[in-house]
């Protein structure tokens, strides 16, 4: 690992004017990304930011690193090529709910399955913004949009479910307003060797304003959000008196000191377990039955990832093969000479 | 080799076709025979012809798999129109190939399979295929191959199924006897292939020898034949098929340019073998990735190209359609990339295993927006190596995507390949920007090529952004300035035009000016030149101009066209190249000759066509 370089977040800002709408949740995310890059101390030329198409996919223009603005849905595939070509690069994929889960669904799950050492940030605003307000694969059922004037009749994806289904090792979630949490998660994700997916619940002020109001409402947010930390009790609430327990095969939100529940009953978060059982339930928690989970929900450490396996295999083959140059290959096998 | 009692007749060239059920191992048999012939010193061309189904219903015409080998003492440019020898492992193989037999050809029939059940399955109306197919004047050789193989291998501890799998080698042994081919090389091959299962090596070798001895001792053939080595340009040779040639051409370009090779691809007939071959070459540091779909194939390649690799993606027609949006991303991001299209019969799934030249217009025009692109085409299995190398050279030096067209016919077909020395191949100069370069601008161009310069991630101080939105000239920032779009559109067109500096002049084979100019492109070269040469031997005045560079066209194209009274453009499609020529040279009259049967031309039909034009 190279020595940590001292950077300021401003070192990662490009000279381009940021063109997201005022109040858009993407601004918060971008701040956090700049901060995380500075904190990581990886030299600027070794970062590559790749995106697809959509509002969030404009990010490449707003970072002062190498960056590539791709085509709709293909960011995960383009990133995969970048990373395999040069595993030494720190690759960020920035995508949205339409880009990653509709047109790019296939690349999304396969990048995770291969365990590419890439940090994929999915800005989920539950709507198509850049095309002006059509429903997305994460729009809630019944949502009225330009293309669902009578309400959608499609159940939405839960992005984390796809991550688990694709054998994902790292999944985290933050709100667009959680600048500090996002920064922490981005740093962790970049240091994690394997595919890391971070879902940012992002408010679209124009086409889906208030989608997360129930969670972010100042009065109640502490009761409706839970921040998970590996090794710590799953506690939430204004008074820190609520927690999650396992009730049979289900999670249950309880109040400590009520109905006989004590602190000892509260689950300790284990992000590092391979078993996805609890992670899946944490990912699926929704208000009002549960608080919504934030933080690093799953981070199963692996020593291996695609690039390291490829390198190992390549070295094995090179060591065993007698052919190391094109001239040797061209002259190998059955040949004959015409005088 | 034992001394033969029978007469040995010398022949100039022979076409032999091995044909059987798709599980009968005919592709292997044909490959072994062609390798033995090449090693013997003959000139050779081959044509595999197999169904799309891996195991179509046994014994039916739909399930017949064939492999044709044309070998000769004189120069061989095609796999041959009609065969001198047909090996028919069952009645369906006979029925499927009847139309390809020369009058009086030798037909080796596996008589064990010519029973009522199999004859009906093959679709004969009567129980007598010989009368039904009017074959009484042919040299019919009935060999009970199943019985003989079982007997020959009876001492080995092999189950019935494995034993019968060797029947193709019995047939091969018979053919080795018929054409006085040595068997040693094939034996060595089996020993190597089945090193871990010596019993299978032994079984295959025993079956082959049994076939040879059967032909030798029973005197089933009236005579045997000899085809002397051909006069071939001196040098070291190997056999190569077009798909391997493409894979190796890219590998050679990577070594020559000092770049790492990355291939992102998805399996598709008949292009898969390029990916397969590159997957084997990890020893050369090649990264070949089988990804989740065609689009990921090209998009991973574009990512790798951005990161500084020599990137390629391989496909066939339907895959090219899926890749079109991403090809344009490489056009506007101005990144080097080679897209290989091993064409097949279309539209849609069409004829996956059959050949066609019908993706030309897709390659030239099949994208949104103003999207000019360099297109080149290989014309023989052995020049696939060279044109893949050149496609990569153009892509890298001009910072642009290049489409390389081959097709199922040359992709699967094999031919002797004169082994080049890496030192003799042209140099490739990637326009990579060095660290420390002041004032790097992503879209500043080299005035000689119009190419921008390649700043690779990881290089300090050259951080920049590219992508699919229109770029401001020089700086490469996003730009919606109306005049800028026009400037950039013209610059992208100009870049392709500048490839011309790398395109050699078109050379005409035949009479420098005369009655008729035959025009072809890509894989039809062998048939066209054979037909043209045959007519020239008869004193006809004609010539062939064969195109490998489609866009841009060689600069002397018009000059050549104007020298001839008549021009005919011959293609395995409805007339796509001729349409392109008509748009380029609107006052020149082009005739056209087309075939759309999923098959290459035959020499005979071309000769008829040219004769008609010359006489008309």
Report chain B residues whose CB lies below 8 A from the CB of A51.
467
Q: Are B409 and B353 in contact (CB under 8 A)?
A: no
pLDDT tens digit sequence for B152-163: 999 999 999 999
- List strand residue ranges (DSSP E) for B78-222, in order: 83-88, 101-110, 139-143
Q: Give pLDDT, residue B3.
A: 53
Give the model's pLDDT for residue B1.
Answer: 45
Residue of B nearest to A65 (CA): B463
Q: How confident is the model at residue A1 (pLDDT cuts 50, 70, 90)?
A: very low
| pLDDT per residue as tens digits for the range A153-197 | 999 999 999 999 999 999 999 999 999 999 999 999 999 999 999
The answer to whether residues B570 and B592 touch, using CB atoms and an 8 Å cutoff, is yes
Give, in order, the Cα–Cα distances in Å from B228 to each of B17, B209, B236, B388, B552. Answer: 19, 23, 18, 33, 42
Give contacts of A325 with chain B, Cβ < 8 Å.
255, 284, 422
Q: Check CB contact under 8 Å for A71 and B468.
A: yes
A90-120 as b/e: b if 16+ CB within 10 A: bbbbbbbbbbbbbbbbbbbbbbbebbbbbbb
Q: How confident is the model at residue B514 (pLDDT cuts 50, 70, 90)?
A: confident
Kindly list the structural domains of chain A, giving each domain's residue range(s) and its CATH number in brackets, ordered by start.
Answer: 9-224+292-299 (3.40.50.970)
Using a CB-CB cut-off of 8 Å, the residues of chain A touching B238 are 330-331, 333-336
pLDDT at position B401 is 98
Backbone angles phi, psi at B205, to 5 degrees: -65, -40
**What average pLDDT does this structure show over B583-610?**
96
Least confident piece of the model among A90-94, A331-335, B400-404: A331-335
Geometric angle at alpha carbon B322, from B320 and B323, rounded to 5°: 65
User: Is the pLDDT assigned to residue A76 strictly greater than 80?
Assistant: yes
Partner A contacted by B304 (CB < 8 A) = yes
CATH architecture, domain B508-615 = 3-Layer(aba) Sandwich (3.40)
Minimum CA–CA partner of A75 in chain B: B299
- Residue A281 binned pLDDT confidence (cut-offs 50, 70, 90): very high
Query: Mean of the pLDDT values across residues A323-339?
Result: 93
User: Is domain B239-424 classified as CATH 3.40.50.970?
Assistant: yes
**CA-to-CA distance for B181 and B175, rounded, in angstroms?**
8
Contact B460 A45 (CB under 8 A): yes
CB contact under 8 A, B459 and A335: no
Average pLDDT in chain B? 95
Q: Would you say how long chain B is, in residues? A: 616
Q: Minimal Cα distance from B301: which residue of A?
A: A81
Separation in Å, CA of B42 to nearest CA in chain A: 10
Interface mutation target, options A81, A105, A110, A116, chain B, most CBs of B under 10 Å: A81
Nearest CA in chain A to B230: A338
Of the candidates A65, A317, A320, which has its C-beta nearest B463's C-beta? A65
Enumerate the domain spans of chain B.
Answer: 7-227, 239-424, 508-615
**Are B461 and A310 inside 8 Å of each other by CB?**
no
Q: How many CA atoms lie within 13 A of A173 on its CB side?
A: 23
Q: Is there a contact between A314 and B185 if contact means CB atoms under 8 Å apart?
A: no
Residues 404-423 of B with CB under 8 A from A: 419-422
Positive or negative, the CA dihedral B57, B60, B63, B65 is positive
Cα–Cα dist B609/B69, whole Å: 25
Q: How many helices (H) and strands (E) does chain A have?
A: 11, 12
> What is the Cα–Cα distance from A102 to A123, expressed in whole angstroms?
13
Distance CA A58, CA B114 (A): 69
Q: Do B123 and B90 form a contact (C-beta atoms < 8 A)?
A: no
Decide: pTM greater than 0.90.
yes
**CA closest to B240 among chain A residues:** A330
For the segment B8-32, what is each residue's pLDDT rounded down to a tens digit? 999 999 999 999 998 899 999 999 9
Residue B236, pLDDT score: 94
Q: Are B308 and B432 in contact (CB under 8 A)?
A: yes
| CB-based contact A193:A305 (threshold 8 Å) | yes
B75-95 tens-digit pLDDT: 899 999 999 999 999 999 999
Q: Judge: B248–A310 Cβ closer than 8 Å, yes or no.
A: no
Question: What are the chain A neighbours of B467 within 8 Å (beta carbons)?
Answer: 51, 60, 67-70
Q: Do B460 and A43 touch (CB under 8 A)?
A: yes
Residue of chain A whose alpha carbon sits nearest to that of B455? A66
Name the residue among A50, A66, A321 with its Cβ closest to that of B283. A321
pLDDT tens readout for residues A115-151: 999 999 999 999 999 999 999 999 999 999 999 999 9
Could you give the C-alpha distances from B279 to A85, A317, B285, in angstroms and in order?
15, 11, 10
State yes or no: cis peptide before A288, omega within 30 of 0. yes
**pLDDT at residue A172, as a whole number:** 98
User: How do residues B527-584 score in pLDDT, each as one tens digit?
Assistant: 999 999 999 999 999 999 999 999 999 999 999 999 999 999 999 999 999 999 999 9
Work out the pLDDT band at B4, boundaries 50, 70, 90.
low
DSSP state of A15: S
**pLDDT mean over A104-110:** 98
Segment 306-365 of chain B within 8 Å of chain A by CB: 306-309, 311, 325-326, 329, 333
CB pairs under 8 A between A and B: 203
Q: For chain B, give the percent of residues with pLDDT over 70.
A: 99
How confident is the prediction for chain A on average, in pLDDT? Answer: 96
Beta bridge partners of B153: none
Measured on CA atoms in the order B465, B469, B473, B477, is the torsion positive or negative? negative
In degrees rounded to 5, what are phi and psi of residue B278? -65, -30
Other Cβ atoms less than 10 A from the Cβ of A23: the count is: 11
> Which residues make beta-bridge pairs with A296?
A172
CATH class of B7-227: alpha beta
In this prediction, residue A303 carries a pLDDT of 79
Q: Chain B residues with CB inside 8 Å of A335's CB?
A: 236-238, 419
- How far, in Å, CA of B616 to CA of B515, rounded? 11
Residue in B284, B304, B462 closest to A81 by CB = B304
B121-130: long-range contacts, CB 8 A cutoff, minimum separation 24? B121/B57, B121/B58, B121/B59, B121/B60, B121/B91, B121/B92, B122/B59, B122/B60, B122/B61, B122/B90, B122/B91, B122/B92, B122/B94, B122/B95, B123/B60, B123/B61, B123/B92, B123/B95, B124/B91, B124/B95, B129/B91, B129/B94, B129/B95
Are B7-227 and B508-615 the same fold in CATH? Answer: no
- The distance of A329 to chain B (nearest Cα, Å) reads 9
- Percentage of chain A with pLDDT > 70? 99
pLDDT at A2: 55
Euclidean distance between CA atoms A23 and A294, whole angstroms: 22
Closest to B384 in 3D by CA, of B265, B501, B290, B523? B523
CB B529 within 8 A of CB B510: no
Q: Is there a contact between B286 and B346 (Cβ–Cβ < 8 Å)?
A: no
Pull the structure tokens for residue B339: 């897209």
β-strand partners of B49: B66
Average pLDDT over residues A22-27: 94
| Subunit contact A317:B283, Cβ cutoff 8 A | yes
Q: List Cβ neighbours of A16 (8 Å cut-off, separation of 6 or more).
A: A61, A62, B477, B478
Residues in chain A with CB shorter than 8 Å from the CB of B469 are: 69
């Amino acid at each position: 690992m190279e020595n940590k370089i001292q950077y300021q977040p401003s070192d990662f800002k490009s000279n381009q004017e940021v063109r997201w709408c005022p109040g858009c949740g993407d601004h918060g995310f971008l701040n956090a990304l700049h901060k995380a890059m500075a904190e990581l101390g990886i030299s600027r030329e070794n970062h590559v930011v790749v995106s697809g198409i959509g509002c969030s996919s404009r990010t490449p223009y707003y970072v002062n690193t190498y960056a590539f603005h791709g085509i709709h849905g293909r960011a995960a595939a383009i990133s995969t090529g970048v990373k395999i070509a040069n595993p030494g690069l720190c690759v960020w994929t920035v995508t949205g709910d339409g880009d990653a889960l509709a047109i790019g669904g296939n690349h999304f799950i396969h990048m995770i399955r291969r365990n590419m050492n890439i940090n994929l940030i999915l800005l989920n605003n539950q709507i198509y913004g850049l095309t002006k307000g059509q429903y997305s694969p994460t729009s809630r059922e019944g949502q009225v949009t330009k293309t669902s004037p009578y309400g959608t009749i499609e159940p939405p994806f839960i992005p984390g479910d796809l991550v688990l289904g694709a054998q994902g090792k790292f999944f985290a979630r933050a709100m667009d307003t959680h600048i500090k949490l996002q920064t922490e998660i981005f740093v962790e994700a970049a240091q994690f060797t394997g595919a890391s997916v971070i879902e940012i619940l992002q408010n679209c002020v124009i086409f889906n304003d208030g989608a997360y109001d129930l969670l972010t409402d100042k009065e109640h947010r502490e009761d409706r959000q839970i921040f998970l930390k590996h090794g710590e009790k799953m506690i939430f609430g204004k008074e820190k008196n609520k927690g999650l327990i396992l009730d049979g095969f289900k999670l249950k939100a309880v109040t400590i000191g009520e109905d006989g529940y004590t602190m000892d009953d509260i689950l300790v978060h284990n992000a590092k377990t391979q078993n996805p059982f609890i992670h899946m339930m944490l990912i699926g928690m929704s208000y009002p039955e549960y608080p919504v989970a934030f933080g690093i929900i799953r981070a199963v450490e692996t020593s291996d990832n695609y690039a390291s396996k490829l390198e190992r295999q390549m070295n094995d083959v090179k060591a065993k093969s007698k052919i190391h140059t094109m001239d040797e290959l061209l002259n190998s096998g059955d040949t004959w000479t015409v005088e | 080799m034992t001394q033969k009692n029978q007469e040995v007749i010398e022949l100039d060239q022979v076409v032999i076709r091995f044909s059987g059920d798709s599980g009968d191992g005919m592709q292997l048999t044909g490959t072994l025979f062609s390798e033995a012939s090449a090693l013997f010193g003959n000139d050779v061309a081959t044509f595999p012809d197999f169904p799309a189904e891996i195991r179509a219903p046994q014994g039916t015409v739909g399930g017949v798999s064939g492999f044709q080998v044309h070998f000769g003492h004189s120069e061989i440019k095609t796999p041959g129109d009609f065969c001198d020898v047909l090996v028919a492992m069952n009645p369906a193989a006979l029925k499927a190939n009847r139309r390809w037999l020369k009058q009086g050809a030798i037909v080796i029939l596996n008589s064990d399979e010519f029973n009522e059940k199999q004859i009906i399955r093959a679709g004969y109306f009567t129980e007598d295929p010989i009368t039904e197919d009017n074959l009484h004047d042919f040299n019919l050789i009935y060999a009970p191959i199943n019985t003989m193989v079982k007997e020959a291998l009876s001492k080995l501890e092999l189950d019935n199924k494995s034993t019968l799998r060797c029947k193709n080698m019995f047939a091969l042994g018979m053919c080795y006897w018929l054409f006085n081919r040595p068997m040693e090389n094939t034996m060595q091959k089996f020993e190597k292939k089945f090193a871990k299962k010596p019993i299978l090596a032994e079984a295959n070798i025993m079956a082959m020898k049994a076939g040879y001895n059967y032909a030798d001792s029973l005197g089933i053939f009236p005579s045997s034949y000899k085809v002397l080595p051909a006069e071939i340009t001196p040098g070291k040779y190997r056999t190569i098929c077009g798909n391997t040639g493409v894979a190796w051409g890219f590998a050679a370009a990577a070594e020559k340019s000092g770049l790492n090779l990355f291939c992102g691809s998805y399996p598709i007939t008949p292009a898969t073998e390029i990916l397969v071959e590159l997957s084997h070459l990890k020893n050369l540091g090649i990264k070949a990735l089988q990804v989740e779909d065609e689009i990921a194939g090209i998009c991973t390649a574009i990512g790798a190209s951005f990161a500084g690799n020599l990137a390629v993606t391989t496909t066939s027609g339907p895959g090219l359609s899926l890749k079109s949006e991403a090809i344009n991303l490489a056009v506007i991001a101005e990144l080097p990339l080679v897209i290989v299209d091993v064409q097949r019969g279309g539209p849609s799934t069409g004829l996956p295993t059959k050949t066609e030249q019908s993706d030309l217009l897709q390659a030239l025009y099949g994208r949104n927006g103003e999207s000019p692109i360099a297109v080149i085409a290989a014309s023989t299995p052995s020049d696939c190596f060279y044109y893949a190398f050149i496609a990569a050279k153009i892509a890298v030096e001009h910072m642009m995507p290049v489409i390389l067209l081959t097709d199922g016919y040359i992709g699967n077909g094999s031919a002797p390949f004169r082994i080049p020395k890496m030192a003799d191949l042209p140099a490739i100069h990637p326009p990579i920007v060095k660290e420390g370069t002041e004032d790097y601008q992503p879209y500043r161009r080299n005035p000689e090529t119009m190419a921008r310069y390649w700043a690779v991630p990881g290089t300090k101080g050259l951080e920049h952004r590219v992508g699919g939105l229109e770029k401001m000239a020089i700086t490469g920032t996003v730009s919606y300035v109306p005049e800028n779009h026009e400037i950039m559109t013209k610059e992208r067109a100009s870049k392709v035009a500048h490839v011309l500096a790398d395109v050699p002049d078109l050379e005409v084979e035949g009479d420098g000016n005369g009655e008729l100019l035959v025009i072809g492109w890509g894989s039809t070269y062998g048939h066209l030149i054979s037909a043209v040469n045959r007519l020239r031997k008869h004193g006809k005045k004609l010539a062939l101009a064969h195109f490998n560079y489609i866009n841009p066209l060689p600069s002397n194209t018009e000059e050549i066209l104007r020298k001839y009274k008549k021009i005919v453009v011959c293609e395995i499609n409805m007339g796509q190249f001729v349409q392109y020529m008509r748009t380029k040279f609107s006052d020149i009259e082009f005739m056209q000759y087309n075939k759309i049967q999923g098959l290459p031309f035959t020499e005979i039909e071309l000769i008829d066509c040219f004769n008609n034009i010359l006489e008309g």
